[in-house]
Amino acid sequence: MSLSLGKALIIARREYLTTVRRKAFVFSLLLTPAILFVSGFLSTKMASDDARKRFAEARIVAVVDSSGAYSDAALEYDYQPTTDAPLNPSQTHPAPTPHIVPVILRRFESQQVALDSLAKGDVKQVLVVAADFVETGRLRLYANDTRVFTSSADDRPLRFWLTRSLLAGQTDSTRIEGVLRLGRSMDLYTLDREGKWAVKNDARELVGFLLPFALGFLLSMSIITGGQYLLQGVSEEKESRILESLLCSVTPDELMLGKLLGLGGAGLTLVGVWVVAGLMASAGLLSVLNVSLPPALLLAAFAYFLLGYLFYASIMTGIGAMTSNLREAAQLSTVLTLLNFVPFWMLVKILNSPNSGLAVGLSLFPPSAATTMMLRMSAASVSGAHIPAWEIATSLGLLALSAIAALAIGSRMFRLGMLLYGKSPNLPEIVRILRQS
């Protein structure tokens, strides 16, 4: 019996409309990006406000100087942080005036007395200068700080006081200020994706991490989500014996093709809305950082989604047909899900060295190719690293061949297993059935 594309499209339309009308799909489509955006905005704002508030507070520090190096040091001064470089060096807007932080120091003869004062809340920190400080530079800083994440900027006021007081009387004030600014005024220039030298700053590095992570995670979730829809749909219809009724009108191949097209379209709708929402939410930040998504990157993401979805969905369809219930199908599909997320276990290595042997190997390995290559390409769009065209072509070619093979195997498993009820066959039995067919 020949394959009827018309019947397959009818099934695809039915699967697509049934899926997109589910409350869970609408929730994922609309509320998930909204929740992520709002939670991310609130989390960032609260962290920023907390850090700004803590840094602007007056520093009352107990000093226990066993070395005598700071016996004549001033006990009050105003610390004025230097202004960091703008997010986008090409911006001409004037930098905001930094907030002045008052620092007050109190001398204590005993470390224990100073710690008792810290416990009572009379001081914010306790600085202990070891007796051999001049020779070893040993310092100890005590603080009641329950934060999980701390900033290196927290101890800058004390470092400035230590440096300025140690050099006082040894040289003129101009040289002291130059020493204090040393390193803060050194701009690091690296090649961008256009081959031009550009300032590399912390904000751009953050985007260089978050952008690949977001795109890679989005691609992985869309592939797995589409595959899970197929897995769940086939398993539920098999348990309810709806498949028996459907097979009276269509062939197994038409049924499988229709499900692949319909649920694949639902997955593409999901990822499309998420991408648009993500670009709209981050457009301002990407513009400030002078970061844009190349059209080739979006085109490659679309190709990897289609091939990755076909690869995973074909296998999950076969798993759903061969197992006797949804619980067993979900357990077996967990292995596939883990394979798709393997690149995130090596995320830092891939982003820092996108052309390393590990990154290239994972890009060519079909189960992890889509996610890894998306991480590499999106990281290269920010850092300026070059991904050879032959690697992208080879990765897509291997993934396409694997997807075709998975489709053939999944189709055979679907035909053999959709009417199989009762005990689910184990792996050796599945291999034997496939060979006999």
pLDDT in tens, 321-358: 777 666 777 777 777 778 888 888 888 888 888 888 89
Indicate whether 26 and 143 sit together in one domain: no
pLDDT bucket at 427, cuts 50 / 70 / 90: low
Average pLDDT score over residue span 307-324: 79
Q: What is the pLDDT of residue 39?
A: 66
Decide: 118 and 142 in contact? Cβ < 8 Å: yes
Indicate whether 313 and 358 sit together in one domain: yes
Q: With pLDDT > 90 as the criterion, what percentage of the chain qualifies?
A: 6
Domain assignment present for residue 195? The answer is no
- C-alpha torsion 375→377→383→388, nearest 10: 130
Indicate whether 310 and 414 sit together in one domain: yes
Domain assignment present for residue 47? The answer is no
pLDDT bucket at 198, cuts 50 / 70 / 90: low
Indicate whether 109 and 135 sit together in one domain: yes
Contacting residues for 58 by C-beta, under 8 A, at least 6 apart: 101, 102, 103, 104
Indicate whether 241 and 340 sit together in one domain: yes
Domain assignment present for residue 119? The answer is yes
What's 161's domain CATH number? 3.40.190
- Report how far residue 313's alpha carbon sits from residue 224's, in angstroms, rounded to the nearest whole number: 8
Least confident of 3-12, 30-39, 303-312, 426-435: 426-435
Looking at 155, 186, 217, which one is the last position of a domain?
186
Contacting residues for 76 by C-beta, under 8 A, at least 6 apart: 102, 103, 104, 105
Which residues constitute the domain of residue 376?
A: 5-42+201-436
SS3 191: strand
Indicate whether 342 and 424 sit together in one domain: yes
Domain assignment present for residue 49? The answer is no
- Report how far residue 335's alpha carbon sits from residue 218's, in angstroms, rounded to the nearest whole number: 19
Q: Kindly report the pTM of this predicted structure.
A: 0.64
Region of 169 (left: φ > 0; alpha: ψ -120 to 50; beta: rest) is left
Q: What is the pLDDT of residue 395?
A: 94
Indicate whether 309 and 384 sit together in one domain: yes
Indicate whether 108 and 254 sit together in one domain: no
Domain assignment present for residue 402? The answer is yes
- Report how far residue 368's alpha carbon sits from residue 165's, in angstroms, rounded to the nearest whole number: 56
> Quick one: tokens of 116?
């008792």
Looking at 135, 151, 186, which one is the last position of a domain?
186
Domain assignment present for residue 191? The answer is no
Number of domains in the chain: 2
Indicate whether 110 and 13 sit together in one domain: no
Looking at 151, 186, 221, which one is the last position of a domain?
186
Indicate whether 82 and 229 sit together in one domain: no
The better pLDDT of the pair 358, 51 is held by: 358
Indicate whether 272 and 378 sit together in one domain: yes
Domain assignment present for residue 159? The answer is yes
Domain assignment present for residue 196? The answer is no
Indicate whether 243 and 368 sit together in one domain: yes
